[in-house]
């Protein structure tokens, strides 16, 4: 046998054990193939993939994760990152991004024109007038001190007061106030009750329509106040405990007039909506600095502020009506064309289950925000782990915050996206999405924290 054939035979014998030890993917049985796919579906460190895919908490529902280094844009870990999930309040980051590009430094409080001895004004969607948590007196003081007669004009809205896909039976709860062109008091009533007492009502204007629930009135668990579906009549339930509650009221042009007259202590008349005359100068009254709204909206996940934010953006784009969809289309076309996957974006707050977004798109949005907003300002607007907002009870560390972000929760869905500072000092953009879980949200939240703590230590 020639030396050439002896060498070839030796090489064949040498490679045979390797071939037997590593069978090709197609040679596995169906069960083995599915097992290998489930273990290897994440792209990144094996220890992280093992934590996630073998978690008893996470394995029974849909999980998507995207982790990217902020400085370099390097993708460090992905699991189902290209699949669409219901994002819930993570969508508020898109509303925030819209505001950054369309609102400037201050909120547009209202618009007005002066005609001889009359001042005609209308809303821009600014929700801060007499708001309980982000209160502004700019419009109040302006209207109270003007010498002209006041005429309110209702700015048309092209969409319904509830967003598409919102839960109709949530109308009674604090987290789903109706959208409107000129909110007053945040479109909610606050109730403060002592043990076995009638609650104090704020604003007191609504006192006449608040009654104690009659005997036999249906009393859902944990409800203190119930409102009629179609009008502003409220019943409360006497309790042996002290309680505080918020309940939305139904806004209307007539109700705005009544509330303004009640608070301004001067007449406010109604004027039908007409387009402004070409020769008239329309003026905008500047309101609060935008960060006062962004901070409250993002840290405590305030739905009304997010919805009204898009309406204020709409007021910057058009003068004849307020339209959430106009803003969404404009922002996607002008500023968000290069996202990995186009989001399905239908409202400002994320209350709708029609919203859909992928984990890698949320991470890409986080990168864009970090590029466009100075880091100290950006992190100060978000909820901080162990500090404030919706993350105050999680991601704690005695040395200070290491995770800043936005949570998103609907029944059976819990997500978080934000910025994670590792022990080595690297800043990571993280999107961690969980849809269709049947365990309690707190269980999912604790498991997410366990995983992200390891990311902090080991990446």
Q: Which CATH number characterizes residue 451's domain?
A: 3.40.710.10
φ/ψ region of 281 (left if φ > 0, alpha if ψ in -120 to 50, else beta) reads beta
Residue 320 lies in a domain: no
d(CA 168, CA 176): 10
Q: How far apart are CA 285 and CA 124, in angstroms?
A: 10
In this prediction the pTM is 0.89
How many structural domains compose the chain?
Answer: 2
Specify whether 392 is located in the same domain as 245: no
Instruction: Assess whether 237 and 127 both reside in one domain.
Output: yes
Task: Give yes or no: residues 283 and 372 share one domain.
Answer: no
Which residue, of 271, 289, 307, is where some domain finishes? 289
Give the span between the Cα atoms of 308 and 322, in whole angstroms. 10
Do 269 and 363 share a domain, yes or no? Answer: no
Q: Are residues 144 and 46 in the same domain?
A: no
Write down the pLDDT at residue 14. Answer: 44
Q: How far apart are CA 330 and CA 324, in angstroms?
A: 10
* Cβ contact 310:98 at 8 Å: yes
Rounded to whole angstroms, the Cα distance separating 157 from 181 reads 7
Q: Residue 2: what pLDDT?
A: 53
Same domain, 136 and 74: no
Same domain (yes/no): 141, 267: yes
Q: Is residue 391 part of a domain?
A: yes
Length of the chain: 459
Q: In degrees rounded to 5, what are phi and psi of residue 442?
A: -60, -30
Q: How far apart are CA 268 and CA 129, in angstroms?
A: 16
Q: How far apart are CA 242 and CA 187, in angstroms?
A: 24
Residue whose C-alpha is closest to residue 236's, from 224, 228, 221: 224
* Structural domain harbouring 279: 109-289
Task: Assess if residue 300 is contained within a domain.
Answer: no
Q: How far apart are the first and last CA of the chain?
A: 56
Torsion, Cα of 51, 55, 61, 65 (10° steps): -10
**184 and 134 housed in the same domain:** yes
The answer on 367 and 426 residing in a single domain is yes
Q: Would you say residue 127 lies in a domain?
A: yes
Last residue of a domain, one of 246, 273, 289: 289
Domain boundary among the residues 289, 305, 325 is at 289
Does 81 lie in the same domain as 118?
no
45 shares its domain with 114: no
Residue 60 structure tokens: 């029974």
Does residue 302 fall inside a structural domain?
A: no
Same domain, 74 and 120: no
User: For tokens 């003081």, what's the residue?
Assistant: 141
In a domain, 308, yes or no: no
In a domain, 399, yes or no: yes
- Ordered mean pLDDT values, 10 residues apiece, the chain (459 residues): 48 41 32 38 89 96 98 97 98 98 97 95 97 94 97 95 94 96 97 96 97 90 91 95 96 96 96 81 95 98 98 94 97 97 98 98 98 98 96 94 98 98 97 98 98 97
- DSSP readout, 319-356? SS-B-HHHHHHHHHHHT-TTSSS--B---SSS--TT-B
Query: Is position 131 within any domain?
Result: yes
């Amino acid at each position: 046998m020639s030396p050439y054939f002896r060498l070839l035979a030796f090489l064949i014998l040498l490679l045979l054990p390797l071939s037997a030890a590593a069978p090709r993917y197609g040679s596995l049985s169906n069960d083995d193939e599915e097992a290998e796919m489930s273990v290897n579906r994440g792209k990144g460190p094996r220890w992280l993939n093992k934590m996630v895919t073998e978690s008893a908490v996470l394995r029974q529902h849909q999980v998507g994760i995207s982790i990217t280094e902020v400085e370099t844009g390097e993708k460090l870990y992905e699991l189902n990152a290209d699949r669409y999930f219901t994002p819930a309040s993570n969508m508020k980051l898109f509303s925030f991004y819209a505001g950054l590009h369309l609102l400037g430094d201050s909120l547009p409080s209202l618009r007005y024109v002066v005609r001889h001895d009359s001042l005609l004004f209308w809303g821009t969607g600014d929700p801060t007038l007499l708001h309980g948590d982000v209160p502004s007196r700019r419009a109040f003081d302006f209207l109270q001190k003007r010498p002209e007669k006041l005429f309110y004009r209702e700015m048309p809205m092209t969409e319904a007061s509830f967003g598409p896909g919102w839960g109709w039976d949530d109308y009674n709860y604090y987290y789903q106030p109706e959208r409107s062109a000129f909110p007053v008091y945040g479109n909610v009533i606050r109730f403060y009750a002592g043990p076995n007492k009638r609650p104090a009502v704020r604003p007191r204007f609504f006192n006449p329509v608040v009654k104690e629930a009659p005997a036999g009135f249906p009393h859902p668990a944990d409800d203190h106040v119930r409102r009629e579906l179609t009008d502003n009549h409220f019943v409360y339930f006497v309790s042996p405990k002290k309680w505080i509650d918020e309940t939305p009221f139904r806004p209307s042009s007539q109700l705005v007039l009544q509330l303004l007259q009640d608070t301004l202590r001067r007449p406010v008349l109604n004027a039908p909506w007409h387009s402004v005359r070409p020769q008239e100068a329309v003026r905008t009254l500047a309101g609060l600095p935008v960060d006062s709204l962004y901070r409250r909206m993002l840290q405590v996940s305030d739905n009304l502020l997010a919805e009204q934010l898009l309406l204020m953006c709409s007021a910057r784009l058009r003068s004849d009506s307020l339209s959430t969809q106009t803003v969404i289309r404009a922002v996607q076309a002008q500023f968000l064309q290069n996202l990995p996957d186009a989001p399905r974006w239908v409202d400002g707050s994320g209350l709708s289950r029609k919203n859909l977004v992928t984990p890698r798109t949320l991470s890409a949005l986080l990168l864009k925000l970090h590029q466009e907003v100075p880091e100290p300002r950006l992190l100060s607007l978000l909820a901080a782990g162990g500090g404030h907002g919706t993350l105050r009870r999680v991601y704690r560390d005695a040395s200070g915050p290491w995770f800043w972000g936005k949570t998103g929760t609907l029944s059976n869905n819990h997500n978080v996206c934000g910025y994670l500072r590792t022990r080595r000092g690297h800043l990571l953009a993280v999107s961690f999405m969980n849809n269709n879980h049947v365990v309690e949200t707190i269980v999912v939240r604790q498991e997410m924290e366990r995983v992200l703590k390891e990311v902090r230590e080991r990446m």
